[in-house]
Amino acid sequence: MRIIYAVFALLLNISIFAQNHDKELRDLYYSGKFNELVQLSEEYLKSDSLNPVFNLWHGEGLVELGFFNKGKPYVQKAIEYIGDNDSRKAWALNYLARIEFLTQNKLKAKQLFIDCIDSNTSPKAIESSKFLLVELGLHDFYSDFEVVESEHITFHFQPNSIVSNKDEFVELRENAFQKISEFFGVKIPKKIDFIIWNSNEDAKKLGIKSLGYANAKFCVIHSRSNQTRGHEITHVITHYLANDQIKTRFINEGIAVCFDLSNNNRLEIINNQKEKDSTQVIVSIKEAWTNPKAYPEWVYYPLAGEFVFRILDKWGKNKLIDLIKNQTYENALLIYGEELNAIISELENEIN
């Protein structure tokens, strides 16, 4: 009898242990600490390699860090060992769909998102799959969009597109892609899916947020027809400079504006925008850098673009790449030294 109790107590302990580990891993996932998630789940898998939950957290962490090929067998193992009624099965299907999309298997990805929705278990996973079907351009809604392929981009034009010269539109963006990816020396995992909408309202009807934007991780762009050729493409390319970047709005948007290939006069745009503002703002670049909502939009677009242009001009590409990987003001000070503050003051004096 005593042995039975001992075994029972041991099993109970193991189960409590596993639950604690699960909570620990879940907390890391939801706080975006994917490096730590991968390390810790790997540790737990060493003594419990078939544990479906540890496999799933490990696979999800790897996918979030951009190592989707490496994450695939873990997610597959989770699908194999998790029961059909368990809500985690839905997440495993959702993540395998993401992996298939990133490896250009769109039909498989679509089916897996649908399987996740049909599993009818985790409302959050189902919501995510429904949204990704739309955002990644996989939804049936897109079947009447006109698809045009260039070397690095798949274009999807809304029916009755307001783009009058599609050949020119495609060529300009393909050339922009080649120029920007060559500059940064980056290879992205798949062709960009470039979806061109006639209006914000049309996109909104389907659940797409305000145009235009890039989901850089999936190399997907939702664009208005009149956006600059380089802005969203730059978001996608620079995302793949490092897989655990620390992004700030000021630098991330500044880089996209700096490389938008538009030849816009940024200072002129800043002055025009300032005139339109109802209240006069005195801009502190450091404040804009650390607070993504402190100022009107023009501070985070043309002004940030001008700032990035100046530091690139003065200190060159390699240091800019270091900044893209960790975009905080503190890291910029480490990279550029105190002279950074002189550049900041100079630009502030010009615009305030």
Residues forming the site for Zn ion (CB under 5 A):
253, 256
* Closer residue to Zn ion, CB minimum distance, 99 or 256: 256
* Closer residue to Zn ion, CB minimum distance, 58 or 247: 247
Do 99 and 67 form a contact (C-beta atoms < 8 A)?
A: no
Helices (H), ranges, 103-164:
106-119, 123-135
**What is the C-alpha to C-alpha distance for residues 223 and 232, in angstroms, rounded to an integer?**
8
* Closer residue to Zn ion, CB minimum distance, 60 or 253: 253
The CB-of-253 to Zn ion minimum distance in angstroms stands at 5
* Closer residue to Zn ion, CB minimum distance, 13 or 264: 264
Convert 84-98 to b/e letters by CB count within 10 Å (16 or more is b): eebebbbbbbbbbbb
* Closer residue to Zn ion, CB minimum distance, 256 or 261: 256
> φ, ψ for residue 224 (rounded to 5)?
-80, 165
Do 72 and 100 form a contact (C-beta atoms < 8 A)?
A: no
The CB-of-256 to Zn ion minimum distance in angstroms stands at 4
**What is the C-alpha to C-alpha distance for residues 44 and 213, in angstroms, rounded to an integer?**
38
Structure tokens at 193: 């899916």
Q: Whats the size of the chain, residue-wise? A: 352
326 bridge partner residues: 246
The CB-of-102 to Zn ion minimum distance in angstroms stands at 21
The CB-of-63 to Zn ion minimum distance in angstroms stands at 24
Q: Is 80 exposed, middle or buried (0-12, 13-18, 19+ CB in 10 A)?
A: exposed
* Closer residue to Zn ion, CB minimum distance, 76 or 200: 200
The CB-of-119 to Zn ion minimum distance in angstroms stands at 35
> φ, ψ for residue 345 (rounded to 5)?
-60, -40
**What is the C-alpha to C-alpha distance for residues 317 and 24, in angstroms, rounded to an integer?**
40
The CB-of-352 to Zn ion minimum distance in angstroms stands at 24
The CB-of-227 to Zn ion minimum distance in angstroms stands at 9
Nearest residue to Zn ion on Cβ basis = 256
Structure tokens at 110: 């679509």
Give the distance, in angstroms, between the CA of residue 93 and the centroid of all CA atoms in the same chain: 20
* Closer residue to Zn ion, CB minimum distance, 138 or 256: 256
